[in-house]
Amino acid sequence: MAEIIDGKAVAEDVVEKVTAMTARLVADKGVVPGLAVVIVGEDPASQVYVASKGKRAKACGFHSVQHTLDADTAEADLVALIETLNADPAIHGILVQLPLPPQIDSGRIIQTIAPEKDVDGFHFINVGKLGTGEVDTAFVPCTPAGSMLLIERVRGRDLSGLNAVVVGRSNIVGKPMANLLLAANCTVTVAHSRTRDLPALCRTADILVAAVGRPEMIRGDWVKPGATVIDVGINRVAASTPGGKARLVGDVAFDEASANAGAITPVPGGVGPMTIALLMANTLVSACRSAGLPRPTF
Rounded to 5°, angle at Cα 113 from 110 and 117: 125
Confidence (pLDDT) at 237: 87
Q: How many residues does the chain have?
A: 298
- Tell me the whole-structure pTM to 2 decimals: 0.94
**pLDDT tens digit sequence for 203-250:** 999 999 999 999 999 999 999 999 999 999 999 888 777 777 888 899
Angle between helices 174-183 and 124-131 (to 10 degrees): 40
- Does the domain at 141-273 match CATH 3.40.50.720? Answer given as yes
Catalytic residues: 53, 97, 120
CATH architecture classification, 28-117: 3-Layer(aba) Sandwich (3.40)
Confidence (pLDDT) at 42: 83
Average confidence (pLDDT) per 10 residues, the chain, 298 residues: 96 98 97 97 83 93 96 97 98 96 96 98 97 94 98 95 97 97 97 94 98 96 98 88 83 97 97 96 98 94
CB 166 within 8 A of CB 191: yes
* Sequence ranges of the chain with CATH classification 3.40.50.10860: 28-117
CB 227 within 8 A of CB 268: no
Strand order from edge to edge, sheet including 228-231: 3-4, 263-264, 228-231, 207-210, 163-167, 187-191
Confidence (pLDDT) at 242: 76
Mean pLDDT for the chain? 95
Confidence (pLDDT) at 243: 72
* Sequence ranges of the chain with CATH classification 3.40.50.720: 141-273
